Every structure is written in C-alpha cells, then in structure tokens.
Amino acid sequence: MVEWKTSKEPVCYEEALAQMDERVADIRDGRADELVWLLEHHSLYTAGTSAKDSDLIASEFPVYKTGRGGQYTYHGPGQRVAYAMLNLKDRQKVPDIRKYVHQLEEWIILTLSEFNITGERRDGRIGIWVVTPAGEKKIAALGVRVRHWITLHGVSINVSPDLSHFEGIVPCGILKYGVTSFDDLGVEVSMDELDEALKKCWNKIF
C-alpha cells in the first residue's frame, strides 16, 4: 500500500533528504508503507552523481550534492516535486531500475496528457520533453537513487517556476534545448489539480 503525503509549504532540501532516509529505513524494516511525497522546495540547485563543475554557471542559490543519478537541476517554487519511496523487491520479480525509470516517465507522460500536453521521451536525453514553436523543451526532470532496492528521490514537473532560474546551470548537462512549464505553454493548472492527476495516473502505471 502506498501512502500519499502533500506538503503545502516549501520544504527545506536537507530536511527532505533526512525524511527520505528515515522512511526508506522504516520501509526496509517493515515499520512503514511505501510513500509518494508531493512538495515544493525553496530555490536551489542539486548536483547528481554525474554533475560536471562546468555546468554550474552561476550559484545564486544554494547548491546541494546529492546521491541521485543525473547532473544539475533546479528546484523552486512553482515546481511540483514528487519523491517516491518504493520497494522494488516487492514490486518486481527481478528488481530493475531501468524499468522503474521508464515507469516514472510514463507516469509523467500520462499526467501531462490529462491537460492536453504531449510529453515525449528522447533517446540520450533524460526527462520529458514537449515540442514548442521555439523547439523542444524539457517540462519534467527525473533523478533516482536506490538503497537496498528501495527508491529515493523521483521527479519534478514545472508548473509555474521562474524559468530564468534555470539559467544558472546547464540543466541535466544539455545546453542545446531549453526548459518550459505549464505556465510557459499557456496551460493554467493549480498544484492541487496536478496532484489529483498524478494520483489518478499512478495506478495505471504502478
């Protein structure tokens, strides 16, 4: 059984990491159910295990090194972050991280379709992309970590963040393509509406 938790106020990144660590330990020991945590962060950059120093252009916000996969990304107000703590041993006959990442991508794509946004995968480019008149742009990012076959971190979807804040980094190491959001695409949606769509689409994938 998956528990859903929603934080209405921005969560400190260090606090989120500590809470994820504690929950993963509890799931492993059978003291707690799996969890999907929906939240926002204060403006910050995170560096995944593949991050290159040269991709940090301007550190106007705090920078956190984290154990998730991937490179640099931005989190901030107006962006829905979904951290998923799932037991892959219980969910898959043979635990498969690639399959899990594919499921997260499909979850985002289905959720976007609820708002008539066509999200797509791209070979060699992590994240979910949309085609705009100005070219392909990323609307959602993914970054996961697995400990004892229990997942941490998850996805982030741009609803109405200040897109200029992405200019301080090379998002996910990809310089050629830009970043977009629901707001940038002219789609008005509240966090509550997005959360409902995320929950609706979850069971179709997981």
pTM comes to: 0.95
> Rounded to whole angstroms, how far apart are CA atoms 184 and 199?
24
Separation between Cα atoms, residue 127 and residue 141, nearest integer Å: 4
Q: Residue 166 to residues 56, 60, 83: CA-CA distances in angstroms?
A: 10, 11, 21
Sorted by sequence, the CB contacts under 8 Å of residue 3 that are 6+ apart come out as 32, 33, 34, 35, 36
**Residue 24: Cβ-neighbour burial (10 angstroms; 0-12, 13-18, 19+):** buried
> How many domains is the chain built from?
1
Q: Are the CB atoms for 153 and 143 separated by under 8 Å?
A: yes
Name the more confident of 168 and 67. Answer: 168
The partner residues of 65 in beta bridges, in order of sequence, read 47
Which tens digit of pLDDT belongs to each residue from 104-153? 999 999 999 999 999 999 998 889 999 999 999 999 999 999 999 999 99
List the one residue out of 86, 108, 102 whose CA is nearest residue 156. 108
SS3 35: strand
* Percentage of the chain lying above the pLDDT 70 cut: 99
CATH number, domain containing residue 161: 3.30.930.10
- Spatial CA neighbour of 140 closest among 106, 164, 96, 169: 106
Of the candidates 16, 159, 172, 189, the residue annotated as catalytic is 172
Clarify whether 172 is annotated catalytic: yes
Mean pLDDT, the chain, rounded, equals 94
Euclidean distance between CA atoms 71 and 77, whole angstroms: 20
DSSP bridge partners of 136: 131
Lowest mean pLDDT across 46-55, 72-81, 142-151, 167-176: 167-176
Alpha-carbon distance of 141 to 160, in angstroms, equals 15
Return d(Cα 173, Cα 114) in angstroms, integer. Answer: 29
Host domain of residue 107: 2-205
